Amino acid sequence: MVLADLGRKLTTALRSLGNSPVINEDVLKKCLKDVQSALLEADVNIKLVKQLTDGVKKQIDLDNIGTGLNKRRVIQTAVYKELCRICDPGVKPWKPTKGRSSVIMFVGLQGSGKTTSCIKLAYHYQKKGWKCAVVCADTFRAGAYDQVKQNCTKARIPFYGSLTEPDPAVIAYDGVETFKKEKFDIIIVDTSGRHKQEDSLFEEMLQVNNAVEPDNIIFVMDASIGQACESQAKAFKDQVDVGSVIITKLDSHAKGGGALSAIAATQSPIVFIGTGEHIDELEPFETTKFIRKLLN
Ligand code: GDP
């Protein structure tokens, strides 16, 4: 899994504390320097890295935390806590409610894994007993409709789309209304992306947003783009009310740190991570579990 390198380096930095007979200021400094290098190499934003190490230092008073063993534990816990803080903006993610139709709109750049994640999410909820459907409002990318149709059919997820209607807002509205009438619990709307953030993309996104009035907007971010994640996430958040984030391609060679920096910058919680191309390769994201695994 990606971020494995980061995990290995962080673990090595923390384990090195065990090799020192005494834990003093110098040992702590060296350990934090190694933690910093690991995070920077993984593409975590430099400001955030500094915040993290400052946060760790603030929690530690070497003179008053007892023996070597205790000191090691306090330092390790402080690093763990600060890493959790990076990944968790402290905002509760939106959750669907039984007995009413909820609309989730997906946004993100083309190629980020938006369409794949829409279908994965529908499949995830469907397996848990929710009545789910997907609306393909992507009229920009040739093949988007076929991709949704093919994958939804395979997974027996009802879908709505049109090869003739050119206006994505009309498709989105019609699709959502159709599924609302049929009392679907979760209606997922896939929107178009572009290769870059462009006015036309944001305009279209706003039109679809106004047409379907989503209960939640999920921003899909490709972990492999590194530091660019941060400005991208901010640009989308400036335009629409992004409620949560799915980070994709965490199985690839992505360093992942850029995506983590984006979370800290936008204060939007990560709800799922994509760990492969297959429909069931979507994992609910839990900060503490994720960090614990990283430091394993
Ligand atoms: P969209 O343009 O944002 O809708 O992107 P797509 O959903 O079509 O995905 C673009 C490419 O990324 C496709 O080849 C997907 O199979 C691939 N992809 C999406 N999510 C993941 C993921 O979590 N891991 C990997 N390895 N590939 C992914």
**Mean pLDDT to the nearest integer, 266-283:** 93
Is ipTM beyond 0.90?
Answer: yes
Atom of ligand 1 nearest to the CA of 274: 23
pLDDT in tens, 3-36: 778 888 999 999 888 888 888 889 899 999 999 9
pLDDT-based confidence at residue 224 (cuts at 50, 70, 90): confident
Pick the residue whose CA is nearest to atom 16 on ligand 1: 277
For 119, 149, 159, 281, the CA distances from 154, given in Å and listed in that order, are 11, 9, 11, 15
Q: Which secondary-structure segment (H or E) carries 134?
A: strand 132-137
Neighbouring CB atoms inside 10 A of 164's CB total: 5
Q: What is the pLDDT of residues 119-174, one digit of tens each?
A: 999 999 999 999 999 999 999 888 999 999 999 999 999 999 999 999 999 999 99
Mean pLDDT across the stretch 215-242? Answer: 90
Q: 41-79 pLDDT, tens per residue?
A: 888 889 999 999 999 999 888 787 777 778 888 899 999
Ligand 1 contact, 277 CB (< 6 A) = yes
Nearest to 78 by CA among 55, 46, 51, 50: 55
- The rounded Å distance from CA 114 to ligand 1 centre is 7
Question: Ligand 1 centroid vs 87 CA: distance in angstroms?
Answer: 22
Of 92-106, 198-212, 259-273, the range with the lowest mean pLDDT is 259-273
Task: Give the atom of ligand 1 at the shortest distance from the alpha carbon of 112.
Answer: 3
Phi-psi region of 156 (alpha: psi -120 to 50; beta: other; left: phi over 0): left
> 276 CA distance to ligand 1 centroid (A)?
8
Residue 224 Cβ inside 6 Å of ligand 1? The answer reads no
Q: What is the mean pLDDT of the chain?
A: 90
Residue type, 72: R
Would the CB of 266 count as within 6 Å of ligand 1? no
Regarding the beta carbon of 216 and ligand 1, being less than 6 Å apart is answered no
Calculate how far, in angstroms, residue 274's C-alpha sits from the geometric centre of ligand 1. 9
| Cα-to-centroid distance, 219 and ligand 1 (Å) | 14
pTM of the full structure: 0.91
Residue of 106, 116, 150, 188 with the most ligand 1 atoms within 8 Å of its CB, for mutation? 116
Quote the radius of gyration of the chain (alpha carbons, Å).
Answer: 22
Model confidence pLDDT, tens digit, residues 194-220: 887 788 899 999 999 999 999 999 999
Rounded to the nearest 5 percent, the helix, strand and coil shares of the chain are 55, 15, 35
Q: Which atom of ligand 1 is nearest to the CA of 141?
A: 2
Q: Whose CA is nearest to atom 13 of ligand 1?
A: 113
The tokens describing 30, both together, are 């060296």
Ligand 1 contact via 213 beta carbon (within 6 Å): no
Best CA proximity match to 220, nearest among 103, 120, 86: 120
Q: Is 68 in the pocket of ligand 1 (CB under 6 A)?
A: no
CA of 172 to the centre of ligand 1 (A): 22
Q: What is the largest CA-CA distance in the chain?
A: 73
